[in-house]
Structure 1
Amino acid sequence: MSTETNLRALASGGAFAGDFLLQTCRASAFGTELYGIDAITQAFRSFPIATEPRYVETAGHAALLWDDRALVADLAGGHVARLWRLGDDPVLPREPELSVPFDVDLAQAGAGVAFAASDHPRLDAAHAGILLEAGQTVSRSCRASDGMAPLHARPICLRAFSAGNTVIALFAVHVRAAIHAGFVNAVTASDAGGLTIIPDASGQSALAKAAWQPRIA
């Protein structure tokens, strides 16, 4: 089975090759972090995506893109090492965590896009400007749970790659609003047809519902 076939099967809740997900695979999905083959497989099969996606792949990376959802994968020798699923999915319980205030990059850099081309060898150098523009659009489009623009939205580029004239970018956006702060993912796809932004609605919902927990009760 090809990477595309396996990834489509994972997203739709179908059967995929037993060694497709590495044992150490981690997935950011459903407003939480899932660790290991069993947890990831169970969650994806419980909430399958039935519609057909667009597929984009380059060495080391692959993505399935729907109108309102995305699944991005880090690949290692035909296996998946890391996953990000974005969209309006149910929010699964999070592990208990402490809330710690911090400056996201120790630079008080405001809403600028954090991006270094050297971190993304599969991104065509000519596409760096496209990526930066996409990140700036993501920052401007961020909204808090009440629909208002956040006090601060700093996109940090986690993954970026080119496949022909298509540019895929995965951002972790550090959002600070009046009552909460944290990271929310977003995927952008830029091509001749323009820019598509796919926010992680489940991650946004999980962040909005998370209580500020500065200590262990």
Structure 2
Amino acid sequence: MKTVYKMLLGALLGFLGAYCLLAAEFELTLLQASFEATLVITGLTVLFIIYCFSGISRMKKRVYLSVSGDEEDELEAKQYRTFTDVTLANTVSTILSIIAIGISIVTEQPLWLILANAALFLITVILSYASISVLKLVYPNRHLPSPTDKDYGKKLLAISDEGEKHVMLDGLFHTFQMMNILLTGAMFILIVYSLGANHSQLFSIIVVGLVLIILNAYYMLKIRNR
């Protein structure tokens, strides 16, 4: 029931957001400034990638520090925070590079810009494996699975203790709830935008709706069959 309420909240927020944009005579100017927008997104992607390299470098350097007692606990906490920050930055950079590629292709930007963002995308993929590989140096006694292992998720869960599993479960559950709110809100934004701007977003609405149905059905079937 709480999930339904949160989905309704997402719908309301989406409607209000789209209404405010239309009431302010919002005009989509991306096509007019697509080159500049792509350059900005590309620049942000590069900055996030640089941060990822910096974070991975810091994690490697800390591995060789000699500490004990409270300092060891503090160092482990720093390593954990750095890893989560790097993971988030890498995820954002991956998404931004895909957006930049999409804008470049749709708006027929220069080939070099498409290739540059494709290269950045490949770098983010490599960084995702590199950051996970560094964890083996940080936790040499944990027998962490290889990031290329097809059962990486299952094996990582298997070696996690109860506290770590609780943290992961809590994060995933709240992410699932937020996802429902945001995707439902996105559907209503697309509906209202289609009506107000005379640009049909029917395909996007259907895709978002199908994603919502599939994800919720998958989640419910998983917990139902336990």
Structure with max Cα Rg? 2
Superposition TM-score, scaled by structure 1 size: 0.24
Query: Which protein is richer in strand relative to its size?
Result: 1
Return the structure number with greater relative CO, CA threshold 8 A, min gap 6: 2
Query: Which protein is richer in helix relative to its size?
Result: 2
